[in-house]
Amino acid sequence: METRLKLTNISKSFGDYNALDGINLEIKKGEIIGFLGPSGAGKTTTIKIITGQLKQTNGTAELLGRDTSKITHDIYREVGIVSDNSGVYEKVTVWGNMKLYADLLGVDKRVITELLERVGLSAHKDKKAEKLSRGQKQRLVLVRALMHKPKILFLDEPTSGLDPGTTLEIHKLLLELQEEGMAIFLTTHDMEEATRLCNKVALLNRGKIAEYGTPKELSLKYHEDRVFRVIKTDGYEEKLYDTDEDRETLSAWIRANEVESLHTSEPNLEKVFLRVTGRELV
């Protein structure tokens, strides 16, 4: 499968401070990769290196097969970026903001109508951007980055501050784009979002990738307590452990048709991160 992004031993130092230390990562066509870590872990530095805004100290970064230290502006016709410094033209309407980028990228104006409708901004298309709420501006920045169907999309906290309904619609949109082959590089503090969207996640800590794998793989890897919650048909809830005695008990309940449901207790991504690094995702 086609590689859209490849990082090989990427390091970045600012004087004596090592912001990144030996980052290796690959994203292929149709993958959503989560890059997760607390503030100061190196997420923004990595995105700036990938998108050619900053040069690494060591290592190589290839975006769509091109060395990011040498890329030219034409690559942005194939790349979408939503970062914390992505802005809008405040004195221009929602439609005007979208049209400016559509003209630059050669996008059919009908796409604007479709995307604004999808994220709940069609009713605000004639409103100046300065009149939008924070969440509405964030939605505008997102759909503006999507309008040309980029080969790879960089998202930095894309649903922060959005209501649950809009967040769900954006998630659906991202999954549809993934099905169409778009690669997505996602940074987020929302571990449920990462679990729902990402094929794989990299847990970043102090400039290094502490763990990498699918959300399920990491949860099972750190499922050390091995506790099981059993809801019985009589309504009672029992807690069992991974012992010979409790396995025999569970088997007996199942044979007697006394088990309504069985739930495992593997940790979520946030708990995995805390266990791996000793730090919380804040």
pLDDT digits (tens, 9 = 90+) for 228-244: 778 888 888 888 777 88
Long-range contacts, 276-281 (Cβ 8 Å, 24+):
276/203, 276/205, 276/210, 276/211, 276/222, 277/203, 277/205, 277/206, 277/210, 279/38, 279/205, 280/38, 281/36, 281/37, 281/38, 281/189, 281/191
Say how many domains are in the chain. Answer: 2
pLDDT level of residue 84 (50, 70, 90 thresholds): low
For residue 274, being part of any structural domain is answered with no
* pLDDT band at residue 135 under the 50/70/90 scheme: confident
The whole-model pTM stands at: 0.82
Same domain, 186 and 262: no
Residues 19-65 have pLDDT tens digits of 999 999 999 999 999 998 877 788 888 988 988 888 999 999 999 99
Residue 65 domain flag: yes
pLDDT of residue 279: 63
- Give yes or no: residues 168 and 63 share one domain: yes
Predicted confidence at residue 40, as pLDDT, reads: 76
272: in domain: no
Domain identity same for 206 and 237: no
Looking at the fold, whether 198 and 236 belong to one and the same domain comes out as: no
Judge if 42 and 128 occupy the same domain: yes
pLDDT at 130 over 90: yes
Residue 61 belongs to a domain? yes
In the predicted model, what is the mean pLDDT of residues 88-101? 93
Do residue 164 and residue 27 come from a single domain? yes
More confident residue, 212 or 71: 212
The CATH code of the domain that includes 89 is 3.40.50.300
Domain that holds residue 258: 224-266
Q: What band does 92 get if pLDDT is binned at 50, 70 and 90?
A: very high
Predicted pLDDT at 224: 66
Q: Note whether 259 and 242 are same-domain residues.
A: yes
Interval 156-189: pLDDT, tens: 887 877 788 778 888 888 899 999 999 999 988 7
| More confident of the two residues 198 and 226 | 198
177 shares its domain with 258: no
> Which of 100-114, 249-263, 268-282 reaches the highest mean pLDDT?
100-114
Number of other residues whose CB lies within 10 A of the CB of residue 183: 24
Q: Say what the pLDDT of residue 137 is.
A: 87
Amino acid at 137: K
For residue 282, what pLDDT is reported? 59
279, part of any domain: no
Segment 83-89 shows an average pLDDT of 76
**Same domain as 233, residue 125:** no
* Judgement on whether residues 182 and 236 belong to the same structural domain of the protein: no
Q: Is residue 273 part of a domain?
A: no
In this structure, the answer to whether residues 176 and 256 fall within a common structural domain is no
Same structural domain, 125 and 96 = yes
Confidence at 98, pLDDT banded by 50, 70, 90? very high
Last residue of one domain, picked from the residues 154, 185, 215: 215
